[in-house]
Amino acid sequence: MPARTLFLAMAIAALPAGGKAQAPAQAQAQSGACVIKSRSETLVVMVCPPRADAVAWRSAGQAACAARNICNVWIWDDATKAPPLAPRTDAGLSRANSGAAVAIWVNDSASLVLLRRAAPAR
């Protein structure tokens, strides 16, 4: 079986049953160097190494969503700043969690949104 087909099969097998968030131990599907920490019906929490770039984030996001149209993949480069469980929607992320993310893959528009930290106000 080609590696790409095997990976896709692993990603599909990691989809949640009943739309409930999965615990990190249940969601250890890998996408290259990026790891799915948790997922809910429409949101994926993913951690990638600090050296990962936009190409890696896009590829990992696409793989994490697979054929799901409504799917947002929030990406962090520090596992300690990512939430332990994926909330049901984006609005369920805390400010601290969303502020520490580095990117969001929005599957329905096939868009990668790069997040930059704003400089402190003077």
With contact defined as beta carbons under 8 Å apart, do 16 and 22 qualify? yes
Q: Is residue 31 part of a domain?
A: yes
* Closest CA relative to residue 86, chosen from 32, 34, 23: 23
Q: Who contacts 122 (Cβ-Cβ below 8 Å, separation ≥6)? A: none
Q: Is residue 48 part of a domain?
A: yes
Q: Is residue 59 part of a domain?
A: yes
Strand ranges, E, within 52-114: 72-76, 103-106, 111-114
Q: Is residue 28 part of a domain?
A: yes
CA–CA distance, 19 with 70 (Å, rounded to integer): 13
Q: What is the pLDDT of residues 15-67, one digit of tens each?
A: 333 444 443 433 334 445 899 999 999 999 999 999 899 999 999 999 999 88
Q: Is residue 19 part of a domain?
A: yes
| First-to-final CA distance of the chain | 57
With contact defined as beta carbons under 8 Å apart, do 85 and 73 qualify? no
| Total domains present in the chain | 1
pLDDT (0 to 100) of residue 116: 84
Q: Is residue 122 part of a domain?
A: no
Determine the structural domain holding residue 62 and report its residue range. Answer: 3-114
Using DSSP's 3-state secondary structure scheme, residue 100 falls into: helix
Q: What is the pLDDT of residues 63-120, one digit of tens each?
A: 999 888 999 999 999 999 999 999 999 999 999 999 999 999 999 999 999 998 766 6
Q: Is residue 72 part of a domain?
A: yes
Question: Which band of pLDDT confidence, cut at 50, 70 and 90, is reported for residue 9?
Answer: very low
Q: What is the pTM of this model?
A: 0.72
Q: Is residue 9 part of a domain?
A: yes
pLDDT (0 to 100) of residue 12: 35
